[in-house]
Structure 1
Amino acid sequence: MPLSTIHHTPTPTVADQVFDELQKHILTLELPPSTKISETEVANKMGVSRQPVREAFKRLAKLGFLEIRPQSGTKISLISEESVLRARFIRIALEVHTCQAACDRLTPDGIKQLRDLIELQRAAVSANDRVTFHKLDDEFHQKICVLADVGYVWDLIRDSKAHMDRIRMLSLNETSQRFALEEHIEIVDAIAAQDTEIVAQVVKKHLSRILTLIEEIKATNHSWFTDGQP
């Protein structure tokens, strides 16, 4: 029996949109750790009912970004050092293999696309625009996944790296941006040279810098951290 193919484009639900908006504000520290937040307040500000907000809260709590306590209210979770280190481990494993695959699969045009992104990053560093640099940083790593024909891996990386993002936003000054930019250049150079060993070394170095950053940031923002899981 011949049947026509139905092309379905999923539309984000209201709960999805509330989740995305809240997570963005949490990861960029516009909602810093320990900030109290309520379903009613969020629902009123976003012009939605409390049900999608409640669903978004549950998802954020499951990921470790919210603490929901009926007696004392809901607040943004502290930054979990353990969760950051787990995210780093997962991300290194995924990105090393992704970049090694890119060594075999990227075309000259793909290399050019990565170098174009690096030039945009260079401009953001010169302007000390950390928000734009953070966005371009993510685009760079996502682009490698797509060009290596493993775009689905970015979904896994994005979910696992969320706990690293708050550290990244706290640490993104002009110096750290320049370090990241130089390491991005090294990654592209290694991919262009099809050197799988060097690219693995550079990716590990690039994603391990957060170990030093955690200690530096804890020294001045110690009240935002917890050693255990949220």
Structure 2
Amino acid sequence: MTPTLPKSVADRVFDTLQQQILSLELPPNTRISEAEVAARLGASRQPVREAFRRLANLGFLNIRPQSGTTVTLISEEAVLKSRFIRIALETQTCRAACRDIADDGLAILASLISQQRQAITDGDRQKFHILDDQFHRQICVSADVGFAWDIISDHKAHMDRVRMLSLDTSSQNRALDEHIAILAAITARDPNGAAHAMTAHLTRIETLIAQLKQQSHNWFTDDSN
């Protein structure tokens, strides 16, 4: 097995900034500078500049030499592209899980649902978001297609900002119910039912976008970044 190489300073800066953008700690239109980030994270300017370029290439930063760097608006087009990729992959992982998942895999998924329920009770939105990702990842792992989650992770980030913006108690309970429906279909070894439940779960983001665009401070754009 090839050993995992330690992350570079640029990688660590990238990871930190991306998480802050996705969690809305750095909301859309926030101005940031290389100097400020370098000082805050204890890094030199060069790795920060590299991280900025990577985030810009992914559509999360607008770098304008004359006017500064800002966090992008949430691109509706990018979110819907991410949703398309997730539905294509995750309906198939659900079908594979119906065929291949073992009892211990079902138990792990059930435990994740219990933990999600507790996170809602505790009012811990960030923990619910993490457990939500773990639930989707575990379906891939239990179906012996863990590589699919690597692909999903590379494409889901634009959806994550919408998810974090919408994660009030009502939305969390709705997501929990949808996870329960997905698990019930997988437990019943019903591939069509599992695929349908996953599609319904991931498609709901269109409704969330419509609702959030009325509430969220002009944070959305219909243009891709």
- Quote the offset at 1:158 in angstroms: 1.1
| Other-structure match for 1:229 | 224
Q: 1: CA distance between counterparts of 2:216 and 2:169?
A: 19
Q: 1:49 aligned to 2:44?
A: yes
Structure 2, unmatched stretches of 5+, are none
Equivalent of residue 69 in structure 2, options 67, 74, 79: 74
Does 2:4 match 1:9?
yes
Identity %: 59
Deviation at 1:128, TM superposition (A): 2.3
* Distance apart, 1:42 and its partner CA: 0.4
1:104-126 alpha-carbon deviations (Å, 9 max, x no partner)? 11011110010011100010112
Is 1:155–2:170 an aligned residue pair? no
State the alpha-carbon separation in 1 of the partners of residues 166 and 118 from structure 2.
19
Q: What CA deviation, in whole Å up to 9, does each residue of 1:124-164 have, x standing for no partner?
A: 11222111100100011111111111111111111111001
Structure showing greater radius of gyration is: 1
TM-score normalised to structure 2 length: 0.98
Determine helix, strand or coil for the equivalent of 2:13: helix
Matched residues, number: 225
Q: Name the CA distance, whole Å, in 2 between partners of 1:18 and 1:167.
A: 23
| Superposition pairs of residues 1-230 of structure 1, within 5 angstroms | 7-230=2-225
The CA RMSD over aligned residues, in Å, is 1.0
2: CA distance, partners of 1:71 / 1:214: 32
What are the superposed Cα offsets for residues 7-39 of structure 1, whole Å, 9 maximum, x if unpaired? 432211111110000000000101010100111
Alpha-carbon displacement from aligned partner over 1:64-87 (angstroms, at most 9, x marks no partner): 000001111100000000101111
Distance between the aligned counterparts of 1:123 and 1:8, measured in 2? 36
Q: Which amino acid counterpart does residue 124 of structure 1 have in structure 2?
A: A
The CA deviation string for residues 164-200 of structure 1, in whole angstroms up to 9 with x for no partner, is 1111011101111011111111111111111011011
Please report how far the alpha carbon of residue 222 of structure 1 lies from its aligned counterpart in structure 2 after TM superposition.
Answer: 4.6
User: What amino acid is the match of 1:15?
Assistant: A
CA distance in 2, matches of 1:8, 1:130: 34
Q: Distance in 1 between matches of 2:173 and 2:78?
A: 26
TM-score, normalised to structure 1, is: 0.96
Contiguous gaps of at least 5 residues in structure 1: 1-5
Residues 32-77 of structure 1 show CA distances to partners (whole Å, capped at 9, x for unaligned) of 1010011111011111111111111011000000000111110000
